[in-house]
């Protein structure tokens, strides 16, 4: 496997001062991150400060969202190039919380990904089934639809990178472990679908598939040890610098 990719999603959980303290602790641990790619995603308001704190640490800064137009009368929105100007290289798109609470549709997700790719940023497309989808045997149908809606009609040029984060919605924030074999199987289904959308070569060279949902220091090693799991997207456990460093260590050991 390439270097595992570990993305911290701080959501809207930290006051500015808390984000700065956490960023300093993460930067301090970063000497132990060699061999992993670590990205932290604070709120928009903290991007510049956290990017400054991370300078020289090897940890990069990502955003939790962006808008799909380049510029214009879009009150309250933030463009991909504004993010790039703050040193952001990676942007989470279509997180289930945005799909649920902000009405983020597949079409919006698609447009955001197209914009991000066009300005050379790396989208992290989140896909995942709900508890009911899974109970009704619809998990794969839902995932394939989300992938096709988000990525259909796009292609990846040499300089472009894409991350797909498989996050079962029923696991996010639940503290639940998932059988690593089930995760591996799902990642293989996602990979196959990506092969159909792009080429096998493009996927192998430009796409990573990571797992998210209650990832912690204890389960990360089992997840990342699976061959199709290229890394993890971490919410709750990324808010504690010690736990987060233990997650990076666990992923490196796997």
236 binds ligand PGA (CB under 6 A): yes
Is 86 considered catalytic here? no
Site string for ligand PGA, 159-198 (x = CB under 6 A): --------x----xx-------------------------
Q: Determine contact, residues 80/116, Cβ cutoff 8 Å.
A: yes
Contacts 24+ apart (CB under 8 A), 196-199: 197/147, 197/148, 197/151, 197/152, 197/154, 198/151, 198/155, 198/156
Question: Based on CB atoms, which residue is closest to ligand PGA, 156 or 215?
Answer: 215
The span from the CA of 130 to the CA of 147, in Å, is 15
Is 167 considered catalytic here? yes
Site string for ligand PGA, 117-156 (x = CB under 6 A): ----------------------------------------
Site string for ligand PGA, 1-40 (x = CB under 6 A): --------x-------------------------------
| Of 35, 28, 32, the residue nearest 56 (C-alpha) | 28
Instruction: Please identify which of the residues 37, 95, 110, 206 carries the catalytic annotation.
Output: 95
Q: Is 188 exposed, middle or buried (0-12, 13-18, 19+ CB in 10 A)?
A: middle
Question: Based on CB atoms, which residue is closest to ligand PGA, 125 or 202?
Answer: 125
State which of residues 80, 209, 234, 247 lies at the interface with ligand PGA (CB under 6 A): 234
Instruction: Please identify which of the residues 167, 187, 206, 226 carries the catalytic annotation.
Output: 167
Strand partners, 48: none
Instruction: Give the C-alpha distances (Å, rounded to integers) separating 90 from 170, 171, 222.
Output: 25, 23, 25
Helices (H) and strands (E) in the chain, counts: 11, 8
Catalytic residues: 95, 167
User: Rule CB under 6 A: which residues touch ligand PGA?
Assistant: 9, 167, 172-173, 212-215, 233-237
């Amino acid at each position: 496997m390439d270097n595992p990719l570990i993305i911290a999603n701080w959501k809207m959980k930290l006051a500015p001062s808390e984000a700065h303290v956490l960023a300093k602790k993460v930067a301090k641990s970063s000497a132990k991150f060699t061999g992993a790619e670590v990205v932290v995603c604070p709120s928009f308001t903290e991007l510049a400060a956290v990017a400054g704190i991370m300078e020289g640490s090897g940890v990069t800064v990502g955003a939790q969202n962006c808008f799909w137009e380049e510029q214009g009368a879009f009150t309250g929105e933030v463009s991909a190039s504004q993010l790039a100007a703050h040193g952001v290289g990676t942007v989470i798109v279509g997180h289930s919380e945005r799909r649920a609470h902000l009405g983020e549709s597949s079409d919006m997700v698609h447009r955001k990904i197209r914009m991000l790719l066009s300005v050379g940023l790396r989208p992290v497309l989140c896909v995942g089934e709900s508890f009911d989808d899974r109970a009704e045997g619809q998990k794969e149908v839902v995932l394939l639809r989300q992938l096709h809606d988000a990525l259909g009609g796009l292609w990846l040029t040499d300089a472009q990178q894409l991350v797909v984060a498989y996050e079962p919605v029923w696991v996010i924030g639940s503290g639940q472990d998932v059988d690593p074999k089930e995760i591996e199987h799902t990642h293989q289904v996602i990979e196959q679908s990506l092969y159909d959308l792009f080429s096998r070569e493009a996927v192998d060279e430009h796409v990573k598939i990571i797992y998210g949902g209650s990832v912690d220091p204890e389960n990360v090693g089992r997840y990342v040890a699976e061959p199709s799991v290229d890394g993890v997207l971490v919410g709750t456990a990324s808010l504690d610098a010690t736990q987060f460093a233990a997650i990076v260590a666990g992923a490196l050991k796997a």
